[in-house]
Structure 1
């Protein structure tokens, strides 16, 4: 019964097109829009690199916005847990929000562990060609555990957290990311590599 109602409601939903579109917004901003999808283990450096990158892009007059995992879970996805089903729904919501923000003409920097390869692939599909840039922060588990800036690995060791990625929950490595960054290198090196990639793709 519920499925029939949802199907009927979906049939009544028609996407509304407006005069001001992504192409016009990109022209106004003087750069292309895209989604930079940072993925990697907790503590790999996703948020740190994204923060440094956004700062550099800001001083280049590039319009950006960071979607951070913890920030999203404090609001939009505060109703979700960390079981696989909810993790997938978390990423689905972020993908849809990212799509809207890319349509708004922004370069969106999303920093999520996003452990499932298929979920990342789905976001790539809904964004379209050259709109989804997967950035894998390749940092060893031991280094992530050593950093433990949020104290999460310690909580895992004390059995206060379950379903933790890399420990008792799977992380599926990206197959063909646009760029792989060594999590042990200097932040400035990682940032410059991403900038070069964006320039080579003629996004900025």
Structure 2
């Protein structure tokens, strides 16, 4: 109800997308909560049941052990609603026995290692990753970014390589209320590219990824 009744923040922002009655923006989520609209909606809301009636599909896991290609950031920048090109694009088909018509939660688990299989050696902050649903809607999981560490003694934080993708799970709300599979498309596609093109950059590989869906 909160997502359906929310109001757009900065409605002229180019990042807004639309799925049926839901608006979404990677910077603003579903929008700002409109309490009055939510209460009005609640008065005529038909209960969908408790969490004990929620369905689960997956996890669907694929072992890849595939190197992640490096590609420079495009001159047009990094779009939050577009899958990156030039790296890995791998799809997991959701089988017909998954009858979720309204997704509530989406989880993507993965392992990214460097060439020595050391999960802490690769700088995960250089990756751009997205997940594309059968609807064609795109969720950005990660953009290239810096990580910082705080030295002892209260010194100013300094940049440090990002770690932690040895076995990491992303939780995604982007696909709220969407079906697990469409009539003509059952593919969920993970796209990963390494934006660090420096000659000294350590290569990495996507060891595996898995998809789990919850909904009704």
Q: Work out whether the TM-score is over 0.5.
A: no
TM-score by length of 2: 0.23
* Bigger helix fraction: 1
* Bigger strand fraction: 2
TM-score by length of 1: 0.24
> Is the radius of gyration larger for structure 1 or structure 2?
2
